A and B are shown apart, each in its own frame.
Chain A
């Protein structure tokens, strides 16, 4: 970093800091006022509603976190924002959808139920297969995305990579639209994971449904995140990934094949996005070529919020963003349609107030 030399530069820096502080205070006061208004004065929602919002936030957050990890892993290793990452997730969602569709039309009649299909007869296997296929598709997509679109640009300026990523995103979206058609497709789950089914708990006298799909998604997200953390912290591949993220030349002097590690990073990111995509289909129930776009950008927001390049940050950012998005409109007393606005306001605010994110650290010199 260049240190500011002239006094006018210092003046500008100080001015910038005051402006940021001012913006922060204004927003803080506004938020406190709105929260006070909604929670204490108007008291619009009961505890049961908040529990419901919180739950859906957690579930959404788990999926955001999985996708955000992909942004952060790739950024950590290549210093690029892989804007096509949401599309990788969308391809995974289609993978899961098609597995369910195919299995639904395979008859598996029993004496008790002659109309039974394979999907309902073997729901656990079906879900497992959906994830296996979805993850494989996304992992493959991630691998070839890097190999075809990004690898030839390894030594190009980063802006070019960014534009390429946006191009790849548009390409994959349109490819999916041409292949699968633009209409939304209903994901038909096995009966076991019916979207209306779940446990019912009572909060302040009202029933709150904890859906099976939600619990399933959240648990699976947590398991995958723990798995990823172990992979990165405890395995040889994880060490190689961290070494490449810190210093590519020195990593290669240790015998690490940097290209190979980058490929594997894209495969891992793709796999997590694929899992999130299949979950998205199972929990949300709708899939089309546009499915990956918003979750992709929101997961990017989550990754920036947690501190881009930082894996626990991406996990935390994803969960926090999910919860804010789910509870925000109610807490601020605004229209629920505005939840996307809240998510992107957060992106802007983080970039203004704390560009390094919650857990972010300064970029070390060897990284730049």
Chain B
């Protein structure tokens, strides 16, 4: 479904991705784990079109998309829920969800989708007329995911969905991610919380300073001594 090959991305003179290759098949949850600054978010930003690779390619459903502008990549069915949630803080919850459905012009369908999001996240229904900026961190994360779902993604890119959330909320968010996946959406998950990410991932890649240094199924990596030492607080 998604095939990334030899991705080379620079920020000015900094060589952020030094030839990253990976793939994701229909229906999978694939996790990218790694430390701060390893290039995880850069991968997502390149897939969603915000960054342009200097070399390498990104193909989605057989089509090259690494030169497609982000607003057109959205229309192909790749939805990126960015790091730090990036809620429109001066728009209401409803307006944020409507922004998520920006590519959809069918008013009735948008209302149906919004109902579905409210059914999944009942807190958002309670706060539908509140400004995005006044929500708590957990609510904002729910809104960010709900906003992503409004576009009917085939592939959902999630960047650090657990960041800054309490352990209970993290559990909840990961349950939701698994549930979204079971309903047919493929997921590319970037996480610093390697434990949680590997637990739900079908496969995972470990990113270090712009290179993929390890890959395997989630379970295998959870048991790998090097991964345990580096990312799971090592025993």
Q: Do A and B bind each other?
A: yes
Q: Across the two chains, which residue of chain A brings its CB closest to B84?
A: A366
Q: Which of A242, A243, A258, A364 has the most CB of B within 10 A?
A: A243
Using A240-B102, A255-B103 as known contacts, say yes or no to A247 and B88 having CB atoms under 8 A apart: yes
Query: What total count of A-B pairs have CB within 8 Å?
Result: 64
Q: Which of B92-100, B112-120, B172-180, B194-202 contacts A (4 or more CB under 8 A)?
A: B92-100
Q: Dominant SS at the A interface?
A: helix
- Selected from B80, B89, B91, the residue in CB contact (under 8 A) with A253 is B80
A236 CB–B CB distance under 8 Å? yes
Chain B residues closer than 8 Å to A236, beta-carbon distance: 98, 102
Complex-state Cα separation, A256 to B101, whole angstroms: 10
Distance between B120 CB and nearest chain A CB, rounded to angstroms:
19
The bracket for how many chain A residues form the interface is 10 to 19
Distance between B93 CB and nearest chain A CB, rounded to angstroms:
13
Chain A residues closer than 8 Å to B98, beta-carbon distance: 236, 239
Using A243-B91, A246-B89, A246-B90 as known contacts, say yes or no to A254 and B50 having CB atoms under 8 A apart: no
Q: Which of A251, A254, A258 has the most CB of B within 10 A?
A: A254
Distance between B73 CB and nearest chain A CB, rounded to angstroms:
9
- Selected from A240, A253, A257, the residue in CB contact (under 8 A) with B48 is A253
Chain B residues closer than 8 Å to A243, beta-carbon distance: 88, 91, 99
Q: Are B86 and A239 in contact (CB under 8 A)?
A: no
Q: Which of B30-81 contact A (CB under 8 A)?
A: 48-50, 69-71, 74-75, 79-80
- Selected from A239, A247, A251, the residue in CB contact (under 8 A) with B95 is A239
Using A249-B50, A249-B82, A366-B86 as known contacts, say yes or no to A254 and B91 having CB atoms under 8 A apart: no
The bracket for how many chain B residues form the interface is 20 to 34
Q: Across the two chains, which residue of chain A brings its CB closest to B90?
A: A246
Q: Which of B48, B49, B99, B151 has the most CB of A within 10 A?
A: B99
Distance between B26 CB and nearest chain A CB, rounded to angstroms:
22
Chain A residues closer than 8 Å to B48, beta-carbon distance: 253
Q: Are A253 and B70 in contact (CB under 8 A)?
A: yes
Q: Which of A250-298 contact B (CB under 8 A)?
A: 250-258
Complex-state Cα separation, A254 to B90, whole angstroms: 16
Chain B residues closer than 8 Å to A255, beta-carbon distance: 71, 74-75, 102-103, 151
Chain A residues closer than 8 Å to B49, beta-carbon distance: 252
Complex-state Cα separation, A254 to B110, whole angstroms: 14
Chain A residues closer than 8 Å to B151, beta-carbon distance: 254-255
Using A236-B102, A239-B98, A240-B102 as known contacts, say yes or no to A250 and B82 having CB atoms under 8 A apart: yes
Distance between A285 CB and nearest chain B CB, rounded to angstroms:
42
Chain B residues closer than 8 Å to A257, beta-carbon distance: 69, 71
Q: Which residues of A does B touch, CB under 8 Å?
A: 236, 239-240, 242-243, 246-247, 249-258, 364, 366
